[in-house]
Structure 1
Amino acid sequence: MFKVGIIGCGSIATHRHIPEYQQNKNAEIIAYCDVVKERSDELAAEFGGTSYSDYHELLQNPDVEVVSICTPNYLHAEMTIAALHAGKHVLCEKPMATSLEDADAMIKAAEENGRTLMIGHNQRINEAHQQAKKDIAAGKLGKLYSFKTTFGHPGPEDWSVDGPDSWFFDKKRAFIGAMGDLGVHKADLMRYILGTEFTEVGAMIETSAKKADVDDNAVLILKTADGIIGTLSASWAYNGQEDNSTIIYGEKGILKLNADDVYTYQFVSSDGQIEKEQLGEIQTNEEGGQKNSHTIDAFIKALTNNEAPICDGYEGRASLNVIIKAIESAQTKSITLI
């Protein structure tokens, strides 16, 4: 059984990481850390374990084998590198870093210390997305033409433990807004499902709905090396209903993923035949949306079997690169090579 330490005890930890570790029979949380020590104290008192306010002290605990980094974006690299050098395996929330240089340093630290680094791109694990990847690889859609993928909701105010004062809205701590919170998920998902890399991006990124110095609305046009073109939308201004859907258009039909509340996988063939399947549910920030993403299961499975995780540091870096180049595109008002 892997002994786990949680670094950062905000909403992503309490709603996702902690419950999923608790449901995994091969993991046990023995340490919690947060700069607001009352948070880690409460969790330690409720579930058992040691509470820390300094993550360096948690990393000095020889019993901790695995850590989850659930802190603001600007701390991901620093804490991940320290944990890897302390001999811990690391599951780091996305985006993995705020620069490619930091991402490279994280990858290097994992390799130097022989430890596993997984980035929390949980959309890869969703059942409909898993099926789509298999079907596309098997040629079910034939030649792929285009796609549109969207991730939007009203914003992190009701989700973050700090509400409207959340670090999500602070550029120094967040680096980017909806693009880093949601857009990087979809960049990663499309790379994964399509099985290819993006080579060009054109982006329009705005702050229009929130009082913040980070983006809250972004639309990207992306192109792959083999000519697939599509759009990616990330928004904190989808008021009323969350949208976490992906549609892929190909020679033999259309694939709709998580576009319907019931039938999360739908294939419409070129002759109009419709195939519908209920393949799990995607997590949302809406009430009742805190379903098991199986991210922790995937992480612990990789550790148990001594195998590469579903999203390692190299994959996390490649998805981060798409977003960084999108920012460059928006700033220069030009198509940017990835």
Structure 2
Amino acid sequence: MNNGNKPNVVLIGINGYGASYLRWLLEREDATLEGVVEIAAEKSGFFDVLQERSIPIYKTIEAFYERHNAELAIISTPIHLHTKQAVYAMEHGSHVLCEKPLTGDPKDLSVWESVSKDTGKWAAVGFNWSFTESIQSLKQDILAGRFGRAIQLKTLVLWPRTEEYFNRSAWAGKKYSPDGTYIMDSIANNATAHFLHNMFYILGDAIETSASVKNVEADLYRVNPIETFDTCAVQMKTTDNVDLLFLASHAVKETEGPIFHYEFEKGSITFSAEDEEPSMRATFKDGTTEDYGNPHVPHVDKLNWCLKALHEKNAIPPCDFRTAATHVQVLGEINDQLDAVKEFPEELKRYESSTKLLYVKGVREKLTEAFQNGVTPVSLI
């Protein structure tokens, strides 16, 4: 360790979401930022600060590890780089915090399993909600049997995304990288992935596990010029026969969600990010209620957990690559259906020139109705 008990950290990817990690790390006194890896560091708003503090900047992960070590490697790079960079970091002595999604390729799961076993290093995955006190408290009560058997979990996320979002990088909305590595960037594998994963996570039979899914039926749509999809209606069933419904779209004009309703034998849990004071609220059939708090809060909890775990033996992340496996596998089944993605017809398309937002008439209403009824819509076209 560097500077007493302060762990060394390397941040791989400092632009995009990586900027949040960089800001947190520059403000902290319980960790030493040993270096950063970024091919375009000069584009970072923190570039001058990095230089002022003499924090080393490297263009490749290999160059960093030639000169340094790190107890924690944070990977906040494009999807198709996650597996390769995580493997390299673990093989060079680092535990890993990898941003979601873990990977676009289900075949990578065995690679993560193998390298973690061989190196003895854990690899946490940054599904934000899984690390929050509110979700942990709710899951503890579910595991304790307070809610009884799960019946149906359903989630709605309507998040508009402009042309700028889809043009933010060369990999946005793409199926594969130039070398053929899976990306599979889509609304379900990126922006709203947290909320799809949360349904799997809440139903896991231990704090660090997710439920398995045996059936996936997806209706996929797009209005934006991407290779994957920006709207989906997905019906799933877990191996314990719990129904899951996930409805999400970028092809809308107004932001709404995440909203969820989790129905159990003894009660239900509801949440809406649109509430004046968002909180997960449980209502039990015996008339009692419970307020679990807001999981949709600043996302530093995952970093806090990882830095604390570096001082603990046998630490097990509440969400690691195994926990994230169900999300990877479900997206694998969804992505097998990309050839069946439906294009929204021209007569339903609307364009807001001031924001450069392309959206579709009627999508918001149809998905909202489907959520209320707990079933996938017959069609969004």
Corresponding residue SS for 2:134: helix
Check if 1:175 corresponds to 2:180: no
- Deviation track 1:91-111 (CA, whole Å, cap 9, x = no partner) reads 111111221222321221222
Are 2:271 and 1:257 aligned?
A: yes
Task: Give the conservation status (yes or no) of the 8 Å contact 1:204–1:220.
Answer: yes
Residue type matched to 1:4 in 2? Answer: V
Task: Name the structure 2 match of 1:336.
Answer: none
1:226 aligns with 2:240: yes
1:11 maps onto 2:16 in alignment: yes
Give the conservation status (yes or no) of the 8 Å contact 1:89–1:117.
Answer: yes
**Amino acid across the alignment from 2:12:** I
CA gap 1:43/1:279 in 2 versus in 1, 3 angstroms: same
Q: Residues of 2 paired with 1:181 and 1:157: CA distance?
A: 16
Partners in 2 of 1:76 and 1:96 — Cα distance?
7
Structure whose residues are more often helix by fraction? 1
Structure index of larger Rg: 2
Matched with 1:34 is: 38
2:125 matched to 1:119?
A: yes
Instruction: Among all aligned residue pairs of Structure 1 and Structure 2, give the percentage whose two residues are the same amino acid.
Output: 22
CA shift in 2, pair 1:46/1:207, >3 Å: farther
Task: Name 1:198's counterpart in structure 2.
Answer: 213
CA change 1:46–1:276 in 2 (3 A) is farther
> Structure 2: where are the runs of 5+ without partners?
1-5, 178-182, 205-210, 342-381
8 Å Cα contact 1:182/1:234 also seen in 2: no
- 1:1-338 superposed matches below 5 A: 1-15=6-20, 17-22=21-26, 24-39=28-43, 41-42=47-48, 44-45=50-51, 48-155=54-161, 164-165=168-169, 167-173=171-177, 174-195=183-204, 196-208=211-223, 210-259=224-273, 260-270=275-285, 273=287, 275=289, 277=291, 279-283=293-297, 291-306=298-313, 307-328=315-336
1:293 to partner: Cα distance: 3.5
How far the C-alpha of 1:67 sits from its partner, in A, is 1.2
CA distance in 2, matches of 1:265, 1:316: 22
**Structure 1 gap ranges (5+):** 284-290, 334-338
Q: How many residues matched?
A: 321
* Residue type at the aligned position of 2:326: A
**Preserved CA contact (<8 Å) 2:14 2:41:** no
TM-score normalised by structure 1 residue count: 0.84
Contact 2:158 2:254 in 1 (8 A): no
Normalised by the length of structure 2, the TM-score is 0.76
Which SS does the other structure have where 1:315 is aligned?
A: coil
* SS of equivalent to 1:145: strand
> Any idea what SS the aligned residue of 1:305 has?
coil
Q: Secondary structure of the residue that 1:222 maps to in structure 2?
A: strand
Give the aligned residue type for 2:198. L
State the shift of 1:30 in Å.
2.2
Residues 233 and 96 (structure 1 numbering): CA distance in 2 closer, same or farther, change over 3 Å? same
Contact 2:12–2:77, Cα closer than 8 Å, also in 1: yes
Q: Would you say the 8 A contact 1:218–1:233 is kept in 2? A: yes
Residue 300 of structure 1 aligns to which amino acid in structure 2?
L
How far residue 88 of structure 1 moved from its aligned partner, in angstroms, is 1.7
Task: Name the CA distance, whole Å, in 2 between partners of 1:47 and 1:319.
Answer: 39
Paired with 2:293 and 2:26, the residues of 1 have a C-alpha distance of 24
Q: Give the deviation of 1:223 after TM superposition.
A: 0.7
Deviations 1:114-152 (A, max 9, x none): 222111111212333223212222333333211112344
